[in-house]
C-alpha cells in the first residue's frame, strides 16, 4: 500500500523536554516538625538514583500541575496538565498550553487538548484554539483553518504514528510523567543536597534541592518515589507538579475518531 502524504503537523519543530524545568525558583518548604528518617539523612545523589529505579517499578504514574515561565512574579506562559496518567507506553489526560512556554519561534500550539497515547498512536480532542494555532503555524491559510475547524475541533482525531514523539515534545514531556521525573532526577543527581525531612502542604517528605531552587520531594519511607517536583519561588512563576501512583488504570483509544490524514488530504498541495 502506498504511503499517504505526511500532514502539516509532522513538520513541527519543538522544544527540548528539560528546557522548561529550569525557568523558575520555588516556594521554600516549611511547616510543622516531622520525624527524622534514615532517608532524610542519606546521600542526595544515591537517593535520586534510587528514585529513578523506583519509578521504573510502578505500573502507573499520575501527574497534575503546571510549569509556568515569566519574569519575576508575572506569568508569561504555561503548560498545565490535569489527570495525566501513563503506563509503560500508554498515556491519557488533558494538557493546556498558554502563551509560548518554550520561547519557540517556529511551529507550536496553544489551547486545551485531551489526548490518548496507545499502541504507538496518538489521538487528540482539541479546542478551537489548539487547532487554530497548530494549523496556522504549520502554514494553513485563514480560510483553510476556518474550514478545518468544523471537522477537527471537539472531535477525537488520530494523528500519524510519527506524531506521538512530536506531541510529547510539544507538551514538554509532561505526558510521560515517569520519563519526565526520571530525566530530572538523573540529570540533577550530582547537584542535589539532602535538606532532610520536612513538611510540605501538610505532607511529610524528604526534600532534595539544587542550589538553583529545583526540588524533588520524595516519600520518606517505602519506595523512594517522588511526591512532587517543584521550584522555590513565592510567585506565580515556577514548577509545581504533584505525583501519584494508581494501582490500576485502563487506557484505551477512543471508540469513535477520525483520521487527520483523511481530513487534510483535500487541502494538501501536490
CA distance 212 to 234: 14
Question: Do 175 and 168 meet the contact criterion of CB atoms below 8 Å apart?
Answer: yes
pLDDT tens digits, 100-109: 655 555 556 7
pLDDT at 32: 55
Q: What is the mean pLDDT of the chain?
A: 82
User: Which pLDDT band, with edges at 50, 70 and 90, does 165 fall under?
Assistant: low
pTM of the model: 0.82
Residues 6+ away with beta carbon under 8 Å from 163: 9, 10, 122
CATH of domain 21-264: 2.50.20
Q: Which residue has the cell 523506583?
A: 54
| Ramachandran class of 153: left when φ > 0, alpha when ψ lies in -120 to 50, beta otherwise | beta
Judged on CB neighbours under 10 Å (0-12, 13-18, 19+), 2 is: exposed
pLDDT tens digits, 48-103: 999 999 999 999 999 999 998 876 555 578 899 999 999 988 999 999 998 765 55
Q: Which residue has the cell 487534510?
A: 264
Which stretch of 17-21, 161-165, 208-212 has the lowest confidence by average pLDDT?
17-21
pLDDT tens digits, 23-47: 333 333 344 578 899 999 999 999 9
pLDDT at 9: 34
Number of Cβ within 10 Å of residue 29's Cβ equals 20
Which stretch of 12-21, 114-123, 165-174, 214-223 has the lowest confidence by average pLDDT?
12-21
CA distance 84 to 175: 6
Beta bridge partners of 258: 157
pLDDT tens digits, 169-225: 678 889 999 999 999 999 999 999 999 999 998 999 999 999 989 999 999 999 999
Residue (of 203, 197, 191) closest to 242 by Cα position: 203
Higher-confidence residue of 6 and 125: namely 125
Amino acid at each position: 500500500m502506498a504511503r499517504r502524504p505526511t500532514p502539516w503537523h509532522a513538520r513541527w519543530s519543538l522544544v527540548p523536554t528539560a528546557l522548561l524545568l529550569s525557568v523558575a525558583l520555588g516556594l521554600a518548604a516549611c511547616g510543622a516538625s516531622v520525624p527524622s528518617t534514615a532517608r532524610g539523612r542519606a546521600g542526595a545523589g544515591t537517593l535520586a538514583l534510587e528514585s529513578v529505579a523506583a519509578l521504573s517499578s510502578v505500573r502507573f504514574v499520575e501527574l497534575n500541575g503546571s510549569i509556568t515561565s515569566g519574569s519575576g512574579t508575572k506569568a508569561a506562559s504555561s503548560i498545565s496538565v490535569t489527570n495525566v496518567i501513563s503506563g509503560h507506553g500508554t498515556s491519557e489526560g488533558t494538557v493546556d498550553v498558554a502563551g509560548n512556554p518554550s520561547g519557540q519561534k517556529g511551529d507550536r500550539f496553544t489551547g486545551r487538548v485531551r489526548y490518548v497515547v496507545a499502541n504507538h498512536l496518538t489521538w487528540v480532542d482539541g479546542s478551537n484554539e489548539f487547532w487554530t494555532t497548530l494549523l496556522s503555524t504549520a502554514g494553513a491559510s485563514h480560510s483553510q483553518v476556518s474550514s478545518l475547524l468544523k471537522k477537527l475541533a471537539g472531535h477525537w482525531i488520530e494523528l500519524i504514528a510519527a506524531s506521538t514523539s512530536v506531541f510529547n515534545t510539544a507538551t514538554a514531556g509532561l505526558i510521560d510523567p515517569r520519563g519526565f521525573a526520571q530525566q530530572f532526577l538523573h540529570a540533577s543527581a550530582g547537584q542535589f543536597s539532602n535538606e532532610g525531612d520536612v513538611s510540605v502542604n501538610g505532607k511529610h517528605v524528604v526534600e532534595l534541592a539544587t542550589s538553583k531552587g529545583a526540588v524533588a520531594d520524595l516519600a520518606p519511607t517505602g519506595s523512594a518515589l517522588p511526591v512532587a517536583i517543584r521550584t522555590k519561588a513565592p510567585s506565580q512563576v515556577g514548577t509545581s507538579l504533584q505525583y501519584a501512583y494508581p494501582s490500576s488504570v485502563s487506557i484505551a483509544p477512543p471508540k469513535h475518531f477520525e483520521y487527520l490524514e483523511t481530513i487534510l488530504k483535500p487541502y494538501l498541495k501536490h
